Structure 1
Amino acid sequence: MSLVGKVAIVTGSGRGLGLAYAQELARQGASVVINDVDEAVAAEAVASIRSAGGNATAVVAPVGPTATADQLVAAALDTYGRLDILVTNAGVLRDTVLWKMSDDDFDTVINVHLRGTFTCVRAAATHFRTQGQGGRIICIGSPTGQRGNFGQTNYAAAKAGIVGMVRTWALELARAEVTVNAVIPVAATAMTDTVPFFAAFNEAAAKGEEMPPFARRVLGYGTPKDVAGLVSFLASDAAAKVTGQAIGAGGDRLQLWSHPEVVATAFQNGGWDYDVLTEDFGSLFGNQQQSVGEKMPDLPAEFQPAPAAQ
């Protein structure tokens, strides 16, 4: 059930979660195509895998354009002769509230996360179908895409869209024995360094210290390595019957997210006009309305951010 002889592409794998995924895939025996926009960062990632006895090469290019997706697949085939696994991890943030978000803020995030996932999966899926030996596609989502988050219109849209595409691709690629799943990670990375709620835990991670049980158990919050095992599992033959799923990982916690389901249904002869809805909506659905955003538990006093200096 190891990944020996397999070849993987991991986008956005120069650092953070992507690097952890690439290193774990290599540790399990896969040869890895690293991707980053920074040549020095990509080279360092490749060196970290090779120094541990693994195989890695790099493609330095921004994810989003079809040309980059084609270049990534070509690098796997030219260097290692095949492709078995794609992990779409590349991403950026441009956080701000709706009324301050520019077109560029929105388009940049959508292009990297959503279009980049689409173009890379399309290129890999096309090859998997030609290769005729199945394949594994793992797309990285986010709790924001599942629940929403203040100030992240663009990111929420992209990550929700990724999970929607995953469900569709799982259907379309089933006959080719290609599995497609979404991973919903929660981990200390550069993307969470600016969140005061996580400050104490990120500081511990940066120092190489063990995160406290409150972080790992209550919050399901850990390091990138805590998510990498799930990615490698989904890339393996052991996960051949797992497809179309959204699976969360972080700290000591593993979660299977549900697909959206109808929670209440009502019927009205002749349909629902304004007057009937005004009178009846509250009694029918008032107690069934769904929550938005993630409700975080209260931080224990020892993990509270220090008050700002006056």
Structure 2
Amino acid sequence: MDLSGEVAVVTGSGRGLGRAYAEALAASGAAVVVNDVDASAAEQVVSAIRAAGGRAASVVAPVGGAEVADRLVSTAVEEFGRLDVMVTNAGILRDRVLWKMTDEDFDAVVDVHLRGTFTCARAAAVRMREQGTGGRLVLISSPAGQRGNFGQTNYAAAKAGIVAMARTWAMELARADIAVNAVVPVAATEMTRTIPAFGPVIAESERTGAPFPDWLRRDEGLGTVEDVASLIVFLASAEAKGITGQAIGIGGDRLALWAHPREKATAYADGGWSADAIAASWHGGVGAEPETYGIPAPKVPEA
């Protein structure tokens, strides 16, 4: 897929998924602004892209505030002349159960994930509207934001908010031909390595070089970071024109479109509902098939 002439920013791209996104975009012809808080990691990615014949520059700074967002966009313009794609991937974790989570734990995660996505997308949208040639905002969410996850109040809330922003911005930026989509990735990362069912399989694959087993790639939809990067390239391309306001999942062998929240069941009572009337009708009415919550536990085949 040819992205020659395109310019992209990828936040949090010094390692893991972000690095895979940056390198895949560069391999498809895009110039890439690499961002990370680790200067050494960012420079390694820039060097790798350049060694492969691509174009890259780096911005070493934590996303969150408007100043860094503006700097990312200005670097893209100063180094490569324009901005076409903004991928908001940067994130941190501060996992705690609700009663142990501090204000600092909550604020730190929301600042990087949610506020960082907002400020970077806003800066990109301003530039793209000025250019008048459209653009792409690719916002990285998570299954935790779609379903919730134990110990991740801050992370799940931020990732759910990112999908809500994608839907909102898809409407607001449609006239400017700027597409906005959320990506829900599942891949072998530092976080998924901590899941007991996945950790040993990932470690064994890394030790031996063997591919992940079919049950992991297909049934659980978990593969390598490179598996996810192909969706980023597609959404950045002309082939994705008209696709906007969606939450798209990818991992391993699985590609999926997530449903947006909608009313599942409805009931009506003349004059409105009293608490007693709700109690009397709930289990046989709108509450007959309650929604599940939480990320489903992995189903590991028996040996």
**What is the CA deviation profile of residues 161-203 of structure 1, one whole-angstrom value per residue up to 9, with x for unaligned ones?**
0000000000000000000001100000112222212112321
Distance 1:205 1:115, change over 3 A: farther
Q: Which amino acid aligns with 1:243?
A: T
Unaligned runs of 5+ in 1: 303-310
Q: Hey, what's the Cα distance between the residues in 2 that align with 1:89 and 1:274?
A: 44
Aligned counterparts, 1:64-143, within 5 A? 64-143=64-143
Shift of 1:262: 0.7
Give the SS at the match of 1:285: coil
Q: Hey, what's the Cα distance between the residues in 2 that align with 1:100 and 1:294?
A: 21
Structure 1 match to 2:179: 179
Structure 1 match to 2:202: 202
Give the SS at the match of 1:9: strand
Give the SS at the match of 1:292: coil
**What is the CA deviation profile of residues 23-81 of structure 1, one whole-angstrom value per residue up to 9, with x for unaligned ones?**
00000000000000011111011111111111110000001010000000010000001
Distance 1:19 1:205, change over 3 A: farther
Shift of 1:279: 1.4
Structure 1 match to 2:225: 224
Q: Which amino acid aligns with 1:224?
A: V
Q: Hey, what's the Cα distance between the residues in 1 that align with 2:298 and 2:38?
A: 37
Q: Hey, what's the Cα distance between the residues in 2 that align with 1:34 and 1:245?
A: 25
Structure 2 match to 1:257: 258
Q: Hey, what's the Cα distance between the residues in 2 that align with 1:247 and 1:199?
A: 25
Is the CA contact (8 Å cut-off) linking 1:204 and 1:210 kept in structure 2?
A: no
Q: Which moved more, 1:287-296 or 1:49-58?
A: 287-296
Q: Hey, what's the Cα distance between the residues in 1 that align with 2:31 and 2:297?
A: 39
Structure 1 match to 2:19: 19
User: When the two structures are superposed, what TM-score results if normalisation uses the length of structure 2?
Assistant: 0.97
Shift of 1:205: 4.4
Shift of 1:138: 0.3
Q: Hey, what's the Cα distance between the residues in 2 that align with 1:31 and 1:89?
A: 17
Q: Which amino acid aligns with 2:51?
A: S
Is the CA contact (8 Å cut-off) linking 2:197 and 2:298 kept in structure 1?
A: no
Give the SS at the match of 2:174: coil
Q: CA RMSD in A?
A: 1.0
Q: Hey, what's the Cα distance between the residues in 1 that align with 2:177 and 2:294?
A: 35
Give the SS at the match of 2:182: strand
Q: 1:291 and 2:292 equivalent?
A: yes
Q: Hey, what's the Cα distance between the residues in 1 that align with 2:125 and 2:206?
A: 37
Unaligned runs of 5+ in 2: none
Distance 1:44 1:131, change over 3 A: same
**What is the CA deviation profile of residues 224-268 of structure 1, one whole-angstrom value per residue up to 9, with x for unaligned ones?**
000000000000000011100100000011001011111111110
Q: Hey, what's the Cα distance between the residues in 1 that align with 2:216 and 2:34?
A: 30
Q: Hey, what's the Cα distance between the residues in 2 that align with 1:145 and 1:55?
A: 33
User: When the two structures are superposed, what TM-score results if normalisation uses the length of structure 1?
Assistant: 0.95
Is the CA contact (8 Å cut-off) linking 1:169 and 1:180 kept in structure 2?
A: yes
Q: Percent sequence identity over matched residues?
A: 58
Give the SS at the match of 2:197: helix
